[in-house]
Structure 1
Amino acid sequence: MTKIRIAIQKSGRLNEESLSILKRCGISIDNGKDQLKAAARNFPLEVFYLRNGDIPQYLRDGVVDIAIIGENVLIEKGEDISIATKLGFSKCKVSLAIPKSDAYSSVKDLEGKRIATSYPNTVRKYLEEKGVSAELHIINGSVEIAPNIGLADAICDIVSSGSTLFKNNLKEVEVMLKSEAVLAVSPNITAERKAILEKLLFRIQSVLKATRSKYVLLNAPNDQLDVILKILPGMRSPTVLPLAEKGWSSVHTVIDKDTFWEVIDELKQAGAEGILVCPIEKMVL
C-alpha cells in the first residue's frame, strides 16, 4: 500500500508539537526509542525523523513527500519548496541583535560590520534590500556568544522569548521576518501520494479551525434575540432553541478566539445570561 512520507524534526519543541498535531488528527504513530523512521497504525503515513536543516534537500530530492518545518528554514534553504498550509505553532522571529551598550538608530548602522549567523542567505537578502554591506560569519550553533568574544559586532538568530539575548547582554534591533511551523510539499510528490496529502490536510485544517474557535452557549431574552444574533459571528447562523422558561431562548454558536472577549462583552451588554464556553476538539466544515 502506498504511504505518504513525512519528515519532522528529530528532537526538540518542533518535534513534540508536530507529533501532537498528528495525534489530534487521529493518527497513531508507533514510536520506538531512537528510531529514525516510524509508521502510522491507522493512516497511510511514514514518519522520518531528520535534522531540521537537512529537510529542504530531502524534500527537493523526493526522499520525503511532505514535512513539518519552520518557515524560517524554508526561507533560508528552500524558497523553491511550496507550503501547503501554515500550522500556527512554533512561532518565532529571525532578528538582528547587537550588544546592549551599543547605540543603534537604523539598519544603516550595520554598514561594514561583522554579523555572525546561521542564516546567511536570509541576512544577505535583507541587507541587500536595505542597501547595507556587511561581513558575514557563518556559525552553526550558538551565535549569541560571538560579540562577547570579539568575533562579530552583531548577530542574526531566532528569537522566541528574548531571554537568550538578555542572558548574553544583547538587544534585538531588527525583526527580519516572522516564522511558524508549516507543512511543506516536495516538488516531486506523486499523484497517488498527493491524494493522501489532501486527506491529511482536511484533518489538519479541521484541527486548526477548532484550535482557533470556541463553542458558546447562552440564554437570551426573546425581546433581545435579534440584537444578540446580530452580534454573533456564527459559521452560517447560530442555533436558537426555546427554553422551558417562557420568553427565553438558548443560543448556540462558534466564536473566533481572537475576538472572543469583545464579543462576550457585547453579549452581556445586550442581555445574554448563563454564557457557557467550551473548547472544540475538531471542526469539520
Structure 2
Amino acid sequence: MEKLKIAIQKSGRLNEDSIKVLKDCGISIDNGKDQLKASARNFPMEVFYLRNGDIPQYLKDGVVDVAIIGENVLKEKGGNIAVAENLGFSKCRVSLAVPKSSTYAEIKDLEGKRIATSYPNTLNAYLSGKGVQAELHIINGSVEIAPNIGLADAICDIVSSGSTLFKNNLKEVEVMLRSEAVLAVSPMIAEKQREILEDLRFRIKSVLVARQSKYILMNAPNDKLEDIIKILPGMRSPTVLPLAEEGWSSVHTVINKDKFWEVINELKQLGAEGILVCPIEKMVL
C-alpha cells in the first residue's frame, strides 16, 4: 500500500506540536522511544523523525513527501519548496539584536559590523535588500553569547518570548521574518502521495479551524433576538430554538475565539443569560 512519508522534528517543541496536530487529525502513530521512523496504524503514513536543519534537504531529494517544519528553517535552507498549509503553531521571529548599550538607530548602523548568526542566507538577503554590507560569523548553537565574548557586534537569531535576549543583555532592533510551523511539500512528490496529502490537508484544516473557534449556547429574550443575532459572527446564521418559558429562545452559534470576550460582553448587555461555551474538536467547512 502506498504511504505518505512525512518528516517532523526529532525532538523539542515543534515535535510535540506536530504529533499533537496529527493526533487531533485522528492519526495514531506507533512511535517508540528513540525511533527514527514509525508508521500510522489508521492512515497511509510513515513518520520520519529528523533533525530540523536536515529536513529541507530530505524534501529536495524526495526522501520524504512532506514535512512539518518551521518557516524560518524552510526559508533559510529550502529554496523554492512549496508550502501547502500554514499551521499556526510554534510561532517565532527571526530578528536582529544588539547590546542594550548600543546606540542603534537604524539598519544602516550595522554597515561594516560583525553579525553572528545561524541564518546566513536569510540575513544576507535582508541586508542586501537594505543596501547594508556586514561581516557574517556563522555559528551553530548559542548565537546570543557572541557579543558578550567579543565575537560580534550584533546577532541574528530566532526570538520567541525575548527572555534569552534579555538574559544576555541584548535588545531586539529589527524583525526580519515572522515564522510559524508549515506543511511543506517535496517537489518530487508522486501523484498517489499527493492524493493522500489532500486527505491530510482536509483533516488539518478541520482541526485548525476548530482551534480558532468556540461553540456558544445562550438563553435570549425574544424582544432582543434581532439585536443579538446581528452581533453574532456565526458561520452562516445562528440556530434559534424556542424555550419552554414564553418570551425566551435558545441561541446556538460558533464564534472566533479572538472575538470571544468582546462578543460575550455585548451579549450580556443585550440580556442574554446562561451563556455556555464549549470547545470544538473538529469543524468541517
Fold-level similarity (TM above 0.5): yes
**1:260 counterpart residue number:** 260
Task: Determine the C-alpha separation between the residues in 1 that align with 2:175 and 2:52.
Answer: 22
Q: Which residue of the partner structure matches residue 274 of structure 2? A: 274
- Off by >3 Å, runs of 4+ in structure 1: none
1:44 aligns with 44
Partner of 1:11: 11
Aligned residues: 285
Instruction: Work out the CA distance in 2 between the residues paired with 1:226 and 1:171.
Output: 51
Deviation at 1:79, TM superposition (A): 3.1
2:192 is matched with which residue? Answer: 192
Identify the residue that residue 159 of structure 2 maps to in structure 1.
159
Task: State the Cα distance separating 1:265 from its structure 2 match.
Answer: 1.5
- Residue 100 of structure 1: aligned partner: 100
The residue correspondences of 1:59-70 to structure 2 (distance < 5 A) are: 59-70=59-70
Counterpart of 2:110 in structure 1 is: 110
TM-score normalized with structure 1 length:
0.99
Give 5+ residue unaligned stretches, structure 1.
none
Distance 1:222 1:79 in 2: 58
How much is the aligned-residue C-alpha RMSD, in angstroms? 0.7
Tell me how far apart the structure 1 counterparts of residues 176 and 257 of structure 2 sit (CA, whole Å): 28
Alpha-carbon distance in structure 1 between the residues aligned to 2:133 and 2:177: 19
- Residue 110 of structure 2 aligns to which amino acid in structure 1? L
**Residues 9-33 of structure 1 deviation map (CA, whole Å, 9 limit, x = unaligned):** 0111100110011011111100111
1:260 is displaced (CA, Å) by 1.2
Q: What residue is the counterpart of 1:146 in the other structure?
A: 146
Distance in 2, matches of 1:96 and 1:222, equals 56
Unaligned runs of 5+ in 2: none
Question: 1:84 offset after TM fit, Å?
Answer: 0.6
Partner of 1:244: 244
What secondary structure sits across from 2:219 in the alignment?
Answer: strand
- Aligned amino acid, residue 189 of structure 1: I
- The 1-side partners of 2:99 and 2:247 are apart by 66
Q: Match for 2:256: what amino acid?
A: D
What is the deviation of 1:273?
1.2
Aligned to 1:219: 219
1:81 paired to 2:81: yes
Q: CA deviation at 1:274?
A: 1.1
| DSSP-derived class of the 2:145 partner | coil
Q: Which amino acid aligns with 2:86?
A: K
The CA distance in 2 between the partners of 1:258 and 1:187, in whole Å, is 36
Matched to 1:147, the amino acid is: P
C-alpha displacement of 1:236 = 1.4
| Structure 2 length-normalised TM | 0.99
Q: Deviations over 1:164-196 (max 9, x none)?
A: 111111111111111000000011111101110
User: Residue 31 of structure 1 aligns with which residue?
Assistant: 31
Name the SS for the 1:197 alignment partner: helix
Describe the superposition over 1:75-121 as per-residue Cα deviations: whole angstroms up to 9, x where unpaired: 11113001011111100010001111111111111010000001001
Find the residue that maps to 1:215 and give its secondary structure.
Answer: strand
Q: Which residue type is aligned with residue 278 of structure 2?
A: C
In the aligned structure 2, how far is the partner of 1:233 from the partner of 1:13? Answer: 33
Distance 2:258 2:189 in 1: 35
User: Partners of 1:18 and 1:79 in 2: how far apart?
Assistant: 22
Q: Distance in 2 between matches of 1:233 and 1:34?
A: 46
1-side partners of 2:237 and 2:146: how far apart?
Answer: 57
Q: Which amino acid aligns with 1:102?
A: S
Indicate the percent of aligned positions where both proteins have the same amino acid: 80
Task: Give, as a single letter, the amino acid of the residue that structure 2 aligns with 1:283.
Answer: M
Match of 1:125 in 2: 125
Give the drift of 1:257. 0.8
